[in-house]
Amino acid sequence: MKLIHLSDLHLGKRLNEYSLLEDQKYILRQILTIIREEQPDGILIAGDIYDKPVPSAEAVHLLDDFLSELHGLDLPVLIISGNHDSADRLPFAGRILKDSRIYISPAYRGETVCIDLADEHGPVHCYLLPFIKPVHVRASHPEADITSYNDALKIAIEDMNIDPSQRNILLTHQFVSGAQRSESEELTVGGTDQVDLSLMAGFHYVALGHLHRPQTLGESGRVRYCGSPLKYSFSEADGDKSVTVVNMDGSGDVEISLRPLHPVREMRELRGTYEELTARSFYEGTTYREDYVHLTLTDEEDVPDALGRLRSIYHNIMKLDYDNLRTRSAGGELPDVQEELSPMDLFSQFYEAQNGMTMSEEQSAIVTNLIDEIWEVER
């Protein structure tokens, strides 16, 4: 069985106030071309279909066009929601769409939808588990002690009662411990968003969404983030994007191959003096002028109207900053800003500063649950 694994489309995303709809239309057309060439038996889309829980009309139209094209290829399409999607809004008309073999998982209510695909070797059971938080699983398992994402995923998988003698695939949207993040991903509050790779040992392939860098986890090669189809932060500027093609044989062994994706505009980081960056010999013959760029000027003195003047050459400047003796000196006088700290870590520091002691395990568990529930309401 051949499957195409996609995730993290983030349709409707804006980056540094630039709309990426044109870029997304372009890359979806490439993906459709690859699908036509590969002729897979099914499509797996592992969450973050939209960039916001309430997407723009343009983003909805873009998804409608994409699904309509997939429907025309007469392929089963399996979709779950991610942390950026509304798990209740995304599956609108899902019961009608399934007649067209487009399966969108409903919000988690204690059960995981299983869709059976089949080839000449028999069935392949595909479990559609959308992004879940501890609060989601506690609602259906009030008696269980669920304080972390790992606890929640463990129970959700146990409830599937998978048959290990059959071929099983899991679609899910979580952060697996040991995986590499990018700057464009949303950090989950509470500091408990990581889940253990070992929980997924019973599946022949795990189609992950959530992290934007393509990567395979574990020695088996069966657990994979396909990554986002576009670069959504400059931390990914040096990476490549691709479509993951999964071939599964009759025993459940998988072989993964990649089809490269080429965006209409690249994302680049360029640095140098103003004179160097404006020299025709530097940018001529490149795509820099239309690419999304982060420019770092190394001039010791500020260049008057640098942004306006540079935009006459680099039309899509997303970020401009300086790196020189003055900025490095100023930076050294500032306190260490820990942008990666979660709300739980910040509250723990506040509590210790106020009370002269650290929180107990019981207090930490209470605060973690409260933060998790408050965040769920706000989302």
So what's the pLDDT on residue 188? 56
Least confident of 87-96, 121-130, 332-341, 368-377: 332-341
Q: What percent of the chain has pLDDT over 90?
A: 76
Give the rounded percent of residues in the chain with a pLDDT score beyond 70: 92
Residue 297 has pLDDT above 90, yes or no: yes
How much is the average pLDDT of 119-144? 94
What's the whole-number mean pLDDT along residues 225-235? 95
Give the residue-averaged pLDDT of 201-214. Answer: 95
Tens-place pLDDT, residues 306-322: 999 999 999 999 999 99
Report CA torsion sign: 214, 340, 320, 333: negative
- pTM score: 0.84
Residue 200 DSSP code: G
- 375 pLDDT tier (thresholds 50, 70, 90): low
H helix runs in the chain, sequence order: 21-38, 57-72, 94-97, 134-140, 149-158, 274-277, 280-283, 306-311, 325-333, 343-355, 361-378
CA 175 to chain centroid: 9
User: What pLDDT, in 10s, does the model give residues 177-191?
Assistant: 888 887 777 665 544
CA dist., res. 289 & res. 192, Å (int): 42
For 119, phi then psi, to 5°, come to: -135, -165
- Of the given ranges (35-39, 55-59, 155-159, 354-358), which has the lowest mean pLDDT? 354-358
Residues in Cβ contact with 41 at an 8 Å cutoff, skipping those fewer than 6 apart: 1, 2, 3, 75, 76, 117, 119
pLDDT digits (tens, 9 = 90+) for 69-122: 999 999 999 999 999 999 999 999 888 998 999 999 999 999 999 999 999 999
Q: What angle do CA 64, 69, 75 make, to 5 degrees?
A: 110
Contacts 24+ apart (CB under 8 A), 151-154: 153/195, 153/199, 154/199
Q: For all residues of the chain together, what is the average pLDDT?
A: 90
